[in-house]
Amino acid sequence: MQCDAFEARLQLLLDRRQAPERDPALLAHATCCTECHAVLHAQRLLFQGLELGDVPDPGSDFTMCVLNRTQVRATRDRRLSVHLPLALLALATSLLLIALPHFTHRQPRPETPTSQAKPDTSDSANPQDQLATADRTHTSGSSSWEDLLTLYPEKTRRRHLQQMDRLTNDLRPITQSFTTAAAALRRTILVGKHRRKKNQPQAQLLTPTRDSQYS
Amino acid sequence: MLIDELRGLIRRCLNGDQVAMQDLVDRFRGQVFGLCYRMLGHREDAEDVAQETFVRVLKNLHRWDSEREFEPWLLAIAGNRCRTALARRMRRPTVSSLVEPLPSRSPDLSAAKQLAEEVDLALRRLRAEYREAFVLFHEHQLSYAQIAENMDCPVGTIRTWIHRARRELIQYLQAREVVETRNAM
């Protein structure tokens, strides 16, 4: 038997959980070859050492610790299962409130004869009229919601639009406050991102100086 | 424990019976802790990971396929937790994990204890996969197929890992002159 064959045969026996001593050919080779004899001896010692090696017992309170941890984990999971849907619902509602104005129908107001007749002079224009003009300009394009509603019959479409307009009007104070808050937040973040350049002067105080007071 | 008895115990655990849970943990804690200790080589870490294993087992007990053996499933979870703990230790090594433990070579220590310490040290020097496969095969008597399923590897790979583990352990024992020491005695 060659040393390679010895090695393969030894592994095969160990794979079958059999003692190498059960194979006479293996033992015969080990008596002739010093290296293989050392391997066989080391193998025997290895398994002796494994059997002798005592794994310490876990602590006496091991089982109680496991049960306590299980209960704590279960309580946490239960709490999470209640709070998580609520948090998601609140988030979804907030997003809906913010996004709603973009999807509502804004029908362009019909041009009144008076507004048509009146010349559009920005200097003399009433601020309310200017606001109305701006609103018309802003909402003249059709929204995706409108596109969707064109697929419905006219009567259904009108009913839906009326309902949606009513809902929008009811929710307008809330959405406006959300939009204002979001804009303020965006402004704050953007301002925070811009760093002052090296040579850029800081904002000056607006209190009048002595010179400017008398000049 | 008979398989029917075990199934009954698990059924009681699934119904929330605390006594049954306690029995289940008591029944398997030695095996789970043994694997964790062999894998991690640190008593406190092994205890923590073994507890975590049982917490997960009790939580996911409904996922256990009652047609299959319970013990390999349990040891697979323990092995996964040990690998996670080892990976965590690699990322954030503690002082105790950096200092390699040396077996005491004091003359009053019995030869058997010394040999056991040397083998334990040799095991710790193995790659984690080799060590897990070796311990599951030789200490927990799992088959190659069961280990392969546990570790999500082909059977051939497991066989190779165990062969290499044996070879490396022997080389280590020879390098530490444990064999010569024993021969001389």
Give chain A positions within 8 Å (CB) of B50.
Answer: 58, 62
Candidates B55, B59, B164, B174: best to mutate against A (most CBs of A within 10 A) is: B55
Rounded CA-CA distance B89/B100 in Å is 14
Q: What are the structural domain ranges in chain A?
A: 3-51, 143-194
Looking at residue A101, its pLDDT comes to 66
CA distance A39 to B89: 34
Assess B166–A contact: CB distance below 8 Å, yes or no.
yes
Q: Over chain B, what is the mean pLDDT? A: 84
Cα separation, A2 vs A29, whole angstroms: 8
Mean pLDDT score, B133-156: 91
Nearest CA in chain B to A38: B179
Do B41 and B123 lie in one domain? The reply is no
Q: Give the mean pLDDT of A67-81.
A: 85
Question: Which B positions 110-139 lie with beta carbon below 8 A of chain A?
Answer: 112-113, 115-120, 122, 138-139
pLDDT digits (tens, 9 = 90+) for A3-51: 888 888 888 888 888 888 778 888 888 888 888 888 888 888 888 888 8
Cα–Cα dist B29/B26, whole Å: 5
Q: What is the 3-state secondary structure (H, E, C) of B83-152?
A: HHHHHHHHHCCCHHHHCCCCCCCCCCCCHHHHHHHHHHHHHHHCCHHHHHHHHHHHCCCCCHHHHHHHHC
CB contact B26 to A (< 8 Å): yes
Terminal CA-to-CA distance of chain B, rounded, Å? Answer: 42
Same domain, B10 and B94: yes
* Residue B57 sits in the same domain as residue B107: no
How many domains are contained in chain B? Answer: 2
Is A67 in Cβ contact with B18 (below 8 Å)?
yes
Which residue in A6, A28, A26, A19 sits closest to A46, CA to CA?
A19
B70 and B147 inside one domain: no
More confident residue, B144 or A77: B144
Q: Is A2 exposed, middle or buried (0-12, 13-18, 19+ CB in 10 A)?
A: exposed
User: Which residue from B34, B163, B169 is facing A46, i.e. has the nearest CB?
Assistant: B169
User: Does the predicted interface ipTM exceed a cut of 0.95?
Assistant: no
Q: Please tell me whether residues B14 and B83 are part of one structural domain.
A: yes
> Out of B18, B116, B183, whose CB is closest to A52?
B116
Cβ-Cβ contacts under 8 Å, A48 against chain B: 115
| Residues of chain B neighbouring A40 (CB-CB closer than 8 A) | none
A196, pLDDT greater than 80: no
Give the chain B residue nearest A54 (alpha carbons).
B116
Question: Which of these three, B31, B65, B99, is where a domain ends?
Answer: B99
Domain end call among B99, B123, B150: B99
Of B111, B133, B127, the C-alpha closest to B184 is B111
Instruction: Tell me how far apart the alpha carbons of residues A78 and A81 are, in angstroms, rounded to a whole number.
Output: 5
Q: Which pLDDT band, with edges at 50, 70 and 90, does B173 fall under? A: confident
Q: Are residues B95 and B105 in the same domain?
A: no
pLDDT tops 80 at residue B19: yes
| A107 band by pLDDT with thresholds 50, 70 and 90 | low
Question: Are B182 and B115 in contact, with CB atoms under 8 Å apart?
Answer: yes
> Which CATH number does the domain housing residue B140 bear?
1.10.10.10
Q: What share of chain B is helix, strand, coil (3-state, %, to 5)?
A: 75, 0, 25
B155 shares a domain with B66: no
**Nearest residue of A to residue B21, measured between CA atoms:** A67
Per-residue pLDDT tens for A123-165? 445 555 554 554 444 454 455 666 776 777 787 878 888 888 8
The reply to whether residue A55 touches residue B182, judged by beta carbons under 8 angstroms, is no
Measured between CB atoms, which of B55, B139, B159 is closest to A50?
A: B139
Task: Name the burial class of residue B179, with classes exposed (0-12), middle (13-18) and buried (19+) by CB atoms within 10 angstroms of its CB.
Answer: buried
Q: Do residues B11 and B63 both lie within one domain?
A: yes
Which of A66-75, A130-139, A142-151, A181-190 shows the highest mean pLDDT? A66-75
Query: Is B89 in the same domain as B107?
Result: no
Going by pLDDT thresholds of 50, 70 and 90, the confidence category of residue A211 is: low
Q: How many residues can be counted in chain B?
A: 185
Query: Given an 8 Å threshold on Cβ–Cβ distance, is B33 in contact with A59?
Result: no
Whether B127 and B77 share a structural domain: no
Nearest to B54 among A17, A42, A66 (CB): A66
Does B46 share its domain with B124?
Answer: no
Report chain A residues whose CB lies below 8 A from the CB of B121.
Answer: none
Range of the domain at B15: 1-99
